[in-house]
Structure 1
Amino acid sequence: MAGLLDGLRILVLEDEILIAMDVEQICRDDGAAHVVIARTLEEAEAAASDSSFDAAIIDLRLGSVSTLPFAARLRDRGVPFVFASGYTSLGEIGVSFPGAKIVGKPYAGDDILAALAEARAQIV
């Protein structure tokens, strides 16, 4: 049975390595061809400039640093993404990214996959 991510290239922007590795495995198990983990905005920017991605999973905050500017750049490039966050006050996302897919932490793999599929369907 084909996975939702078969053959896709996925960027995971997450500063907690165990969570990032878990998300990477979820994506690979679902058929992603290439998964890149970035733990800082600098790593994410470098990865995004070196490669094109079919979708991204973005933690809302990396420590005290907001990832919203990076998400805006992905949106401008037409790259679908979902936010994965442990923060409960997500009003800032609704204002800047109406309709954005948000998956609360802790989350199940199916939650991430379903949100990515929805985000990709909105762009395609």
Structure 2
Amino acid sequence: MSHLRLAGARLLVLEDEFLIAMDVEQLCRDHGATDVVICKNLIEALDGGANYDAAIIDVMLGGESTLSFADSLRQNGVPFIFASGYTDRDDIAAAFPDIAIVGKPYSGQDLIDALTAAIGLSSGNN
């Protein structure tokens, strides 16, 4: 890759669909991420306790909402985006008006663009 937009980043991918998670992991690594942690449910994400540079979050994992987890990331200053097939975007937009929602199916470029924008916005606020 000539332009490593996620160079050195440690990322969380909260996604319960294995193939999607693996694709996202590879996409992030192709753009320079050095560590990509995949969690398929909230228990794994909460038990991880790791510091992340950013996160990609599916809104629903096995019927369970991830919005409270997303709120904890926001409170801790961790930039994130939603990447989801969840159809009721109004709920998400109301709770997280400044967070990008990339709808499934999405292109890899859309996902990387949204994630790097979120990281850029976050670092611009520090």
Q: TM-score of the superposition, structure 1-length normalised?
A: 0.95
Tell me how far 1:46 sits from its aligned partner.
1.5
Give RMSD over aligned pairs. Answer: 0.9
Aligned residue pairs, count = 122
Match of 2:80 in 1: 81
Tell me the distance in 1 between the aligned counterparts of 2:103 and 2:7.
Answer: 24
Aligned positions of 1:1-124 closer than 5 A: 1-47=2-48, 49=49, 51-124=50-123
Tell me how far 1:2 sits from its aligned partner.
3.3
Tell me how far 1:88 sits from its aligned partner.
2.3
Tell me how far 1:99 sits from its aligned partner.
1.4
Q: Which amino acid aligns with 2:95?
A: S
Provide structure 2 residue ranges, at least 5 long, that are not aligned to the other structure: none
SS in 2 for 1:91: helix
SS in 2 for 1:78: coil
Deviations 1:94-122 (A, max 9, x none): 11111111100011111110000111122
Q: Which amino acid aligns with 1:56?
A: A
Q: Which amino acid aligns with 1:102?
A: I
Tell me the distance in 2 between the aligned counterparts of 1:2 and 1:33.
Answer: 14
Tell me the distance in 1 between the aligned counterparts of 2:82 and 2:54.
Answer: 11
Identity of paired residues, percent? 55
Provide structure 1 residue ranges, at least 5 long, that are not aligned to the other structure: none
Tell me the distance in 1 between the aligned counterparts of 2:109 and 2:47.
Answer: 29
